[in-house]
Amino acid sequence: MWKLNAGILFVALVSAACSRSDDRAAARATAVEVVVPAATPPASSLSVGPAAPRPRPLGAAAAVGKQLFFENGLSASGAMSCATCHDPGHAYGPPNGLAVQLGGPRGASPGLRAVPSLRYKEFTTGYADLLDNADGFSPPGPGGGFGWDGRADSLAEQARIPLLSPFEMANGTPAEVVARLRASPSAAGFVEAFGAPALADPEVAFSKIELALQAFQIEDPSFHPYNSKYDLSLYKQPGAELSPAEQRGLKVFNNPNTGNCFGCHFADASLDDGAPPQLTDFSFEAIGVPRNMEIPANRDRRYNDLGICGPQRDDHVRFPEFCGLFKTPTLRNVATRRAFFHNGVIHSLEQAIRFYNTRDVKPELWYPTAGGKPKAVPDPEFPRYGLITVQYVGGTVQKFNDLPAGYRKNIDAQLPLDGRAADGTPPMTEQEVADLVCFLRTLTDDYQLGTLPVEGCRG
């Protein structure tokens, strides 16, 4: 699906759907170039070290795509743009810790899922039920696609989702989007890039909007800077050496008997080919995260977000083996996030790691207990890092409370979520948890050479 040659990445954005218009198909199948330096550190704000190549000027489509990305006038509320939820100051992710963002006609309608980052999508292929795993040895399985359920096959196709979503930009039809574009400050740039006839035809204009937003995300280096401390350490950049704690965390990340993050967040790289690690294998997994009652839709017990098999995509609803599976995101910039997993139920990086480490051995920390008696004062040794901070005597822990029982056989059983017995020994020690947090912090973009790690990540 891609070719790397002399630092130029050709990304073929293709779709299996053949019933769309020619313009929509062209938006998905157009080959575009992304500069990924092969012999020098990636382009960044570094003031020392080998000179990185200057970013290319944006093409006409990408330039108008940049305007559209920040254009509030495309939304029904007049106050929401792509950048509202995908803030460039927050790695093109949400600028807050809300589990779901607010949108809709009046900016008060809650969404259904946490907003992912738009960075590092250039290697993502279209969705396939049987996609070859990036690690080269795991069997093929569901993979690729954009969004938590993979229902969009390109960045262009993904762009239509928020434009038309009733709880995001809240346009009822593509024609409404185009009408708002005609009345917006971005109209002049759109006509300059695509010509007046494109804006006159709503169907053509909407496809060009999608194409422009895709072009911006592909061409603009800010969507794939590859300038984290980890990246620069791979290039042996002086001043980017990992500290002892960060090195230990990397070992935990790769160790199949402890963190085993490598199992899904594949981190191999061939710098000779100009391909830095993607920190995802593009696959889908069910890990049984707790139900998040911060999401209003979840207050209806009949509602279940089942990922690939619905309700936001409808082409796999009759295939139970896909229920509960969600896309594995890249771990790049994970330390900047404040809402984790598809439902945003976890709100810190350390808490997310502790969920992986203790979901099975201490499920009472993550899922509600039914029928138990709460202690007025928890025992001194009762952990306070989970979602549940009340200690119960007796009762039954409602494990996997956000996945109907008939689909729980889909839950991934590899370490650290290997189904070990309650009250057993977790895969990672306290020191290993702390070291893993330190390593994951090195995946944050825009590292300044020589910056000391935070306290606790130096020794």
| Helix (H) or strand (E) segment spanning residue 63 | helix 60-69
Query: What's the confidence (pLDDT) of residue 53?
Result: 62
In a domain, 26, yes or no: no
Task: Say if 136 falls within a structural domain.
Answer: no
Both 448 and 395 in one domain: the answer is yes
CATH of the domain at 206: 1.10.760.10
Q: Could you tell me the mean pLDDT of each successive run of 10 residues in the chain, 459 residues long?
A: 32 32 36 39 41 78 98 98 98 98 98 98 96 85 97 97 98 98 97 95 97 98 97 95 98 97 81 76 97 97 97 96 98 98 98 98 98 96 97 98 98 96 97 98 98 96
What lies within 8 Å, CB to CB, of 109 at 6+ separation is: 102, 103, 166, 167, 170
**Alpha carbon distance 302, 111 (integer Å):** 17
The answer to whether the bond into 416 is cis (omega within 30° of 0) is yes
What pLDDT score was predicted for residue 12? Answer: 34
Same domain, 248 and 350: yes
Show which of 197, 219, 241 is a domain's final residue: 219
Same domain assignment for residues 202 and 247: no
Percent of the chain with pLDDT over 90: 84
Among the three residues 219, 251, 268, which one is the final residue of a domain in this structure? Answer: 219
Same domain, 387 and 283: yes
Does residue 278 form part of some domain? yes
User: What is the DSSP secondary-structure string of 1-42?
Assistant: -EEEETTEEEEE---S--SS-HHHHHHHH-EEEEE--SSSPP
Give the domain range for residue 214. Answer: 57-113+148-219
74 within domain boundaries:
yes
Specify whether 238 is located in the same domain as 158: no
- Answer yes or no: do 330 and 398 share one domain: yes
Tell whether 168 and 262 lie within a shared domain. no
For the chain, the average pLDDT equals: 89
Tell me if 77 is assigned to some domain. yes
Indicate the number of domains in the chain: 2
State how far the alpha carbon of 248 is from the alpha carbons of 20, 245, 254, 262, 334, in Å: 50, 5, 10, 14, 18
343 & 259 share domain: yes
Q: What is the pLDDT of residue 55?
A: 74
pTM value surpassing 0.75: yes
Task: Give the per-residue pLDDT at 338.
Answer: 97
In a domain, 99, yes or no: yes
Residue where a domain stops, chosen among 161, 191, 219: 219
Residue 3 lies in a domain: no
Would you state the pLDDT for residue 56? 85
156 and 282 in one domain? Answer: no
Give domain status of residue 134, yes or no: no
